[in-house]
Chain A
Amino acid sequence: MLTHATQRTTMKSDDRNINWVQEPRLGLAGRSYLLLFVQGLTTTLRHFFSRKKTVQSPEQRHEIPDPSIYRGVHRLNRDQRGRVKCVACFLCATACPANCIDIVAAESPWTDREKYPQSFTIDELRCIFCGMCEEACPVDAIELTSLYDLSGKSREEMVFDKEKLLSVYDRTKDAKPMRTSRGEGRGAGDGE
């Protein structure tokens, strides 16, 4: 059986799938550039007189229109009992296109939970903030906050561990509440 890759060939210039487009002929107005010049200057003038968007960061802060969809620093949510909500399923690490999530799973020390992350680290320097981890998480344990100005003095400092990610949650939980309570109340009691 031929695989998809072996079937693909280089496209030739006489390929029927190519739709050739002619460059439109310019009229007098186009060739004199006058109209385009006026159009361009209008844009410039409009912005010149409109309200200024520049923010004097870091003294002033950017206003984030919708924090719930902003993709900033990650946080690890806590469940109702204050424990890490993550179940160490590795789905975020699997979905991550930058391979920046590293999880070590272990049997959880709690009776109502099966598995938990013994260690959970995100390399914020490798991360491309695409939000795929958030999307993949089956219990909504990992979320992207609206904190955008993260900085550190070394590369090691930018590898966030579990404690640090939980502390981000503690810092941002009031500004941005947890999106859902998925994964809560899945205690062993439910199964019996």
Chain B
Amino acid sequence: MPTVIIDNRELEIPAGRRLNGIEAARLAGVEIPHYCWHPGLSVAGSCRMCLVEVGTRDPKTGEIEMQPKLVPACNTIVADNMVLVTNSEKVARARAMVEEDLLLRHPIDCPICDKAGECLLQDYHFEYGQPERRADIRPFTSRRRDLGDVTLFVDRCVMCGRCVRFAREISGTSELMVTGRGARAEIEVVAGYPLNNKLSGNVVDLCPVGALGDKDFLYRQRVWYLRRHRGVCTGCSTGCSIWIEENQDRVWRIKPRENPLVNKWWICNDGRYDYPHVHDPRRLTQPTGRDGLAIDWTALPNELNRSLGEAGRLAAVLSPFLTVEEAYLLCKLIRGIDAEAPLAIGPVPEVGEDERFPGGFTIRAEKCPNRRGVEAVIAHFARRVATFDELLAELDQDAVQGVWVSGGYKHEWIGQATAARFERLKLLVVQDLFPSPLSERATYLLPGAAYPEREGSYVNCADRLQSVRRAIRPPAGVRTEGSLCWELLGRKGLYNARAALDEIAREMLYFSVAVEPAPEMGIDLKANLLAG
């Protein structure tokens, strides 16, 4: 294995890995500051912040010979016997000079800049900059430019070019460019061709400073108020890893969470701006009966259990928005009362075709997070996964008397005509986010949870299981599907998704690898099928 020496420490590079100086230093626990380099983009080497001293050690004599000039670490692929020095006086001076140069033309309007608090320019200045400014520049307000999906604060830009490279390499749309030269260089779009693609939100995350502002988030919160929670995007069956950033149970923004096995560093705009429905005032927050009268949650579980027991032949519709655990508990509940109850998967929303981007990112046509997981659970209980249409056919023949429908759809999902086919049922329990034609006919209408409020696991289109904890508490009056089924099954204590998943892993071969605590990147369920 190749050995490199970073700040007098020897580091063995894993064989077959091509690392640059920044990545190798990170392995050794040394942080090299950088603006323009990003692991997901090509190397530009333009910011000069990652300059380090580089040399080679003679393997026979052990003598070290350093190169006279500083070298950008991002563009230096480490090789055997390479020596990197990142903590010398020379390197520190170079970093301070870069910082000073960048701040010469920076507005320093941090108080009104949305990036303040997570800004690399701030952090690096604090860490590596000069304590005093030599230039006498008064703070000024940055010029603004509308680039389409995002707002550019022209004077805050440090010209790292990450956004330009992103538009060329990952989204493949090449809307952004650099105009002007030297100190007058600026990010710009061609008039009439604004930045307008489904991945455009990522340039805001990529921007190391506050130059690119998300129009959705601009001026709304300061970043230090936000708490981030690990989540999984429920926009499509790719199941991107995300950070859900919330303050006092209100989601303010969604950011991509690095996951090399699913979404790398990116998410699409559909997923990024997919949270307003969580705080929609039209959401159901009160359980009601057929007469529209409010029912109290304390008495409801007993009443539900009694009604389900008296209904006769039962059936359940499991939404593809449910987590694996919730689907399992619901199946267990319905099958526990009626062992022959047909279990169907709810309508799977599909929009257009899969969209594939040059950078490898894919937006799936299947706009739900957990079809595979729910189908696997249903297959375990019922052997056959009935489709929604098959269940409707059974309803037409009056083959069932009681149906439990879990909705959880973000948009309108059922029409008046389809809902009318549920008319003749003795018992119809609907748990959903929003009122719908179906909810009007419900014997029991239960408010359901939105995705940041759920706890459990999703299986994406590549059979990868990702477990998440809840990011925010559900609004008053809402109980998550998991916690309700947990109580209806008569289980002790609070809903425990981990315990449910352990149970699932013991019972079902498909989930049997999920016994270990899930890593952040998720677990590949296919690996188990090959072995089993």
Q: Residue on A with the closest CB to B105? A: A191
Given contacts A94-B224, A114-B112, contact A191 B140 (CB under 8 A): yes
B224 near A114: Cβ-Cβ < 8 Å: no
Q: Does A107 contact B (CB under 8 A)?
A: yes
A114 near B222: Cβ-Cβ < 8 Å: no
Given contacts A188-B141, A191-B143, contact A106 B219 (CB under 8 A): yes
Q: Give the shortest distance, in Å, between B110 (CB) and chain A (any CB).
A: 8
Expressed in whole angstroms, the Cα–Cα distance for A90 and B226 within the complex equals: 13
Q: Does B111 contact A (CB under 8 A)?
A: yes
Expressed in whole angstroms, the Cα–Cα distance for A66 and B90 within the complex equals: 51
Interface residues on B, range: 10 to 19
Partner of A115, one of B139, B140, B219: B219
Partner of A114, one of B109, B138, B220, B225: B109
Inter-chain contacts of B155 with A (CB < 8 A): 191
Expressed in whole angstroms, the Cα–Cα distance for A190 and B143 within the complex equals: 10
Q: Does B45 contact A (CB under 8 A)?
A: no
Q: Give the shortest distance, in Å, between B248 (CB) and chain A (any CB).
A: 11
Inter-chain contacts of A106 with B (CB < 8 A): 219
Q: Does B373 contact A (CB under 8 A)?
A: no
Expressed in whole angstroms, the Cα–Cα distance for A129 and B153 within the complex equals: 37
Given contacts A94-B224, A105-B220, contact A192 B112 (CB under 8 A): no
Inter-chain contacts of A190 with B (CB < 8 A): 138, 140-141
Expressed in whole angstroms, the Cα–Cα distance for A107 and B141 within the complex equals: 13
Q: Residue on A with the closest CB to B151? A: A107
* Chain A residues numbered 92-116 whose CB sits less than 8 Å from any CB in chain B: 94, 105-107, 112-115
Expressed in whole angstroms, the Cα–Cα distance for A107 and B114 within the complex equals: 12
Q: Residue on B with the closest CB to A138? A: B111
* Chain A residues numbered 137-182 whose CB sits less than 8 Å from any CB in chain B: 138-139
Expressed in whole angstroms, the Cα–Cα distance for A6 and B107 within the complex equals: 42
Determine which residue in A113, A114, A188 has the highest number of CB atoms from chain B within 10 A of its CB, and name it: A114
Inter-chain contacts of B140 with A (CB < 8 A): 186, 190-191
Q: Does B142 contact A (CB under 8 A)?
A: yes
Expressed in whole angstroms, the Cα–Cα distance for A138 and B139 within the complex equals: 11
Q: Does B508 contact A (CB under 8 A)?
A: no
Q: Does B515 contact A (CB under 8 A)?
A: no
Q: Does A187 contact B (CB under 8 A)?
A: yes
Expressed in whole angstroms, the Cα–Cα distance for A112 and B140 within the complex equals: 10
Q: Residue on B with the closest CB to A90? A: B222
Q: What sequence of 0s and 1s flags, for each residue 129-149 of chain B, a beta carbon within 8 Å of any chain A beta carbon?
A: 000000000111111100000
Inter-chain contacts of A188 with B (CB < 8 A): 141, 143
Q: Does B414 contact A (CB under 8 A)?
A: no
A139 near B111: Cβ-Cβ < 8 Å: yes
Inter-chain contacts of B112 with A (CB < 8 A): 87-89, 114-115
Q: Does B218 contact A (CB under 8 A)?
A: yes
Inter-chain contacts of B107 with A (CB < 8 A): 191
B141 near A191: Cβ-Cβ < 8 Å: yes
A107 near B218: Cβ-Cβ < 8 Å: yes
A186 near B139: Cβ-Cβ < 8 Å: yes
Inter-chain contacts of B144 with A (CB < 8 A): 114
Q: Residue on B with the closest CB to A182? A: B139
Q: Does A91 contact B (CB under 8 A)?
A: yes
Partner of B111, one of A87, A113, A187, A191: A87
Q: What sequence of 0s and 1s flags, for each residue 69-103 of chain A, a beta carbon within 8 Å of any chain B beta carbon?
A: 00000000000000000011111001000000000
Expressed in whole angstroms, the Cα–Cα distance for A89 and B140 within the complex equals: 15
Inter-chain contacts of A105 with B (CB < 8 A): 219-220
Partner of A107, one of B143, B219, B222, B224: B219
Q: Residue on A with the closest CB to B143? A: A191
Inter-chain contacts of B143 with A (CB < 8 A): 188, 191-192
Expressed in whole angstroms, the Cα–Cα distance for A113 and B140 within the complex equals: 10
Given contacts A88-B112, A114-B109, A191-B107, contact A94 B222 (CB under 8 A): yes
Q: Give the shortest distance, in Å, between B179 (CB) and chain A (any CB).
A: 16
Given contacts A94-B224, A191-B107, contact A88 B219 (CB under 8 A): yes
Inter-chain contacts of B218 with A (CB < 8 A): 107
Expressed in whole angstroms, the Cα–Cα distance for A92 and B218 within the complex equals: 19
Expressed in whole angstroms, the Cα–Cα distance for A55 and B144 within the complex equals: 57
Inter-chain contacts of A192 with B (CB < 8 A): 143
Given contacts A89-B111, A94-B224, A138-B111, contact A191 B142 (CB under 8 A): yes
Q: Give the shortest distance, in Å, between B491 (CB) and chain A (any CB).
A: 35
Q: Give the shortest distance, in Å, between A112 (CB) and chain B (any CB).
A: 7
Inter-chain contacts of A191 with B (CB < 8 A): 107, 140-143, 155
Expressed in whole angstroms, the Cα–Cα distance for A17 and B33 within the complex equals: 42
Inter-chain contacts of B111 with A (CB < 8 A): 87, 89, 91, 138-139
Q: Residue on A with the closest CB to B155? A: A191
Expressed in whole angstroms, the Cα–Cα distance for A90 and B144 within the complex equals: 21
Inter-chain contacts of B142 with A (CB < 8 A): 114, 191
Expressed in whole angstroms, the Cα–Cα distance for A148 and B220 within the complex equals: 33
Inter-chain contacts of B222 with A (CB < 8 A): 89-90, 94
Expressed in whole angstroms, the Cα–Cα distance for A97 and B220 within the complex equals: 22
Expressed in whole angstroms, the Cα–Cα distance for A90 and B116 within the complex equals: 11
Q: Give the shortest distance, in Å, between A100 (CB) and chain B (any CB).
A: 16
Expressed in whole angstroms, the Cα–Cα distance for A189 and B109 within the complex equals: 14
Expressed in whole angstroms, the Cα–Cα distance for A2 and B259 within the complex equals: 28
A-B contact pairs, 30 of them (CB 8 A): A87-B111, A88-B219, A89-B112, A89-B222, A90-B225, A91-B111, A105-B219, A105-B220, A106-B219, A107-B218, A112-B141, A113-B141, A114-B109, A115-B112, A115-B219, A138-B111, A139-B111, A186-B138, A186-B139, A186-B140, A186-B141, A188-B141, A188-B143, A190-B138, A190-B140, A190-B141, A191-B107, A191-B140, A191-B155, A192-B143
A interface, CB within 8 angstroms of B: 87-91, 94, 105-107, 112-115, 138-139, 186-188, 190-192
Seed contacts A115-B112, A190-B138; 6 additional CB < 8 Å A-B pairs: A94-B222, A114-B112, A186-B138, A186-B140, A191-B142, A191-B155
Q: A-B pairs with the 6 shortest C-beta distances?
A: A89-B111, A190-B140, A191-B140, A138-B111, A90-B222, A115-B112
B interface, CB within 8 angstroms of A: 107, 109, 111-112, 138-144, 155, 218-220, 222, 224-225
